[in-house]
Amino acid sequence: MIASTRFASVVVTAVILWLCVCPLGGFGGDGTARAGDWADIGVAAGPVVIINELHVNPDIKTELVEFVELHNPGTAEVDLAGWQFTQGIFYTFPAGAVLPAGGFVIVAQNPDRIRAKWGMGRFPLSSGLVFGPYGG
């Protein structure tokens, strides 16, 4: 169940995309996608950015820590400058925004709250990997 309606269209889009490209257990039938599989379904050459996680139901309901996590499974960084979320949430990546090869970025409801909650410990969040705030 989605607790926040602002993510409804993002979730629906992600689910439809997953169902279209990974029918019945993934590309190879074992639930995993391999590099050559993208070419088999006719995806154009270029950067592949995956909506990796939607954090829409925080454990403490009053915390402003909702986020969308993007992943770049490729071997080259992706220039995100000008990329936008235009449905569900609203955000435009600024000039200089980069998604590292094999890396992750977060688009946060409140970047300061994200850094306060998860910015320390084993996996500290670099300031260049947390974007926002988003609207919507």
pLDDT digits 0-9 by tens, 64-111? 999 999 999 999 999 999 999 999 999 999 999 999 999 999 999 999
Classify residue 136: in a domain, yes or no.
Answer: no
Classify residue 42: in a domain, yes or no.
Answer: yes
pTM: 0.66
Q: How many domains would you assign to the chain?
A: 1
Average pLDDT, whole number, for the chain? Answer: 76
Q: CA-CA distance, 105 to 109, in Å (whole number)?
A: 13
Higher pLDDT, residue 26 or 109: 109
Classify residue 32: in a domain, yes or no.
Answer: yes
- 87 φ/ψ sector (left φ>0, alpha ψ -120 to 50, else beta): beta
Classify residue 41: in a domain, yes or no.
Answer: yes
Residues of the domain holding 46: 5-131
Element (DSSP H or E) covering residue 68: strand 67-71
With a CB cutoff of 8 Å and minimum separation 6, the contacts of 51 are 10, 14, 68, 69, 70
DSSP type of residue 7: G
35 has pLDDT over 80: no
120 has pLDDT over 60: yes
